[in-house]
Amino acid sequence: MKKKKGLSPVVATVLLIGIVIAIGLIVFFWFKGITQEAITKFDGQNVKLICDKVDFNAAYSHGNIQIQNKGHVPVYQFKAKMEGAGSYSTVVVGENDTAWPSIGLNEGGAYSGVLNLNSGTTKILLIPVLLGKTESNREQIYTCEDRQGKEITVS
């Protein structure tokens, strides 16, 4: 019975070390998730701020969508969030269309192409997607927030 008394402090120490390591890993991964690598555009400006400067017109008629970039920010892609009948889906505009410019829609650029809607779609929200560079000089796309998109009503 006296031999079992020495086992308890060893087990307690191992458990404490395991708990400290687990808490340390949780904090490490939490901080890693908070600090994202910044995406920049136009000489180091944060791409989130550039999204507010995107200016475009869009219209939808009889299965075709027309987009014109009126601003000074090149738009790499547009995501179309189609809403209606209690559901929504998202597609990339011009994804399989050779008419969409490979570098995106530059200043003053225009696009006209087919956009197949789901049945019951009542509105389309066009959200700009920008191409920027990370701090490690890699190209990365950034989807702007919904509030920076334009809503088109489908009749």
**By the 8 A CB rule, do 136 and 56 touch?**
no
**By the 8 A CB rule, do 74 and 53 touch?**
no
3-state class (DSSP) for residue 82: strand
Q: Which residue ranges in the chain fall short of pLDDT 70?
A: 1-7, 35-40, 42-43, 155
The pLDDT, as a whole number, for residue 121 is 83
Closest alpha carbon to 94 in 70, 75, 108, 107 = 75
The pLDDT, as a whole number, for residue 5 is 59
Percentage of the chain surpassing pLDDT 70?
89
The pLDDT, as a whole number, for residue 19 is 96
The pLDDT, as a whole number, for residue 3 is 56
Residue 25 phi, psi dihedral angles, 5° rounding: -65, -40
To which residue do tokens 């086992």 refer? 7
Strand boundaries in the chain, DSSP class E: 39-41, 45-46, 56-61, 64-69, 77-84, 87-92, 110-114, 123-134, 139-143, 150-153
The pLDDT, as a whole number, for residue 35 is 65
pTM, to two decimals: 0.70
